[in-house]
Structure 1
Amino acid sequence: MLRGLLAVLSIALTVYALADCVQTEDDKVKGLPKWAWIVLIVLIPWVGPITWLFVGKERSPGGGGPGPRRGPVAPDEDPDFLRRLDEDIRRERREKRQRDQGDDSEA
């Protein structure tokens, strides 16, 4: 059971590191050419993928992401969209309140 789990983890780590290496831009690869990293990742289990993940490419200083985002990805992350949405909601509530007050005064 443990052997099977280690094999699955090794394969998953290798696939992840290989995909990361292939998708990395050539100017971000450190130490070796990209083709050499690919060979190391595939041929040396555990050591190749782990070395790639820690040493093989330049990481952004913020850690994690691919770099600074160029703009909001979704509408709920766009400050202008959220501001307009808030203004629309307030305007609709105000208009509804005015309509309701107008109906009450007629009765």
Structure 2
Amino acid sequence: MARGILAVLSIALTVFALADCVQTEDDKIRGLPKWAWIVLIVLIPWVGPITWLFVGKERTRRGGDGRPRRTGPMAPDEDPDFLRRLDEDIRRERRERREDPGDGGEGS
């Protein structure tokens, strides 16, 4: 039973590392060319995939707060400019409602 679990874990680790290696851009690979990493991952169980995961790929650089930097578009609720404009719009609308004499709330 333990041998079966180890075999499945080894295959899963190899498949994961191989997929990660194949999908990684060439300029982010360190140490060896991509084809050499693929051979290493496939032919040397455990050592090849673990080496790839720790050494072979340039990892995302982290910002000062410890989180990875985002390079793509931000969601609206994470964009400070969008939130600022939204807040200004809400305040402007409230101000206009208070100043508008036509909306006195008298009978319709």
TM-score (norm 2): 0.70
Question: For residues 84 and 32 of structure 1, do their structure 2 counterparts lie closer, same or farther at Cα, with a shift above 3 Å needed?
Answer: same
Shift of 1:74: 1.6
The aligned residue for residue 104 of structure 2 is: 102
RMSD, aligned α-carbons? 3.0
Q: CA deviation at 1:97?
A: 5.3
Report what 2:46 is aligned to: 46
Aligned to 2:90: 89
Q: Match of 1:26?
A: 26
Separation in 2, partners of 1:74, 1:82: 11
Which amino acid in structure 2 is aligned with residue 102 of structure 1? G
Distance 1:96 1:73, change over 3 A: same
Can you give the 5+ residue segments of structure 1 that lack an aligned partner in the other structure? none
Question: Alpha carbons of 1:64 and 1:25: their partners in 2 closer, same or farther (altered >3 Å)?
Answer: farther
Task: Give, in angstroms, the shift of residue 85 of structure 1.
Answer: 1.8
Distance 1:30 1:81, change over 3 A: same
Give the aligned length.
Answer: 103
What is the CA deviation profile of residues 51-97 of structure 1, one whole-angstrom value per residue up to 9, with x for unaligned ones? Answer: 011111233442885xx433533222221111122223333444555
Distance 1:13 1:24, change over 3 A: same
Matched position secondary structure for 1:69: coil
Native 8 Å contact 1:41 1:48 kept in 2: yes
- Of all paired residues, the percent bearing the same amino acid is 81
Aligned twin of 1:58: 58
**TM-score, length-normalised on structure 1?**
0.70
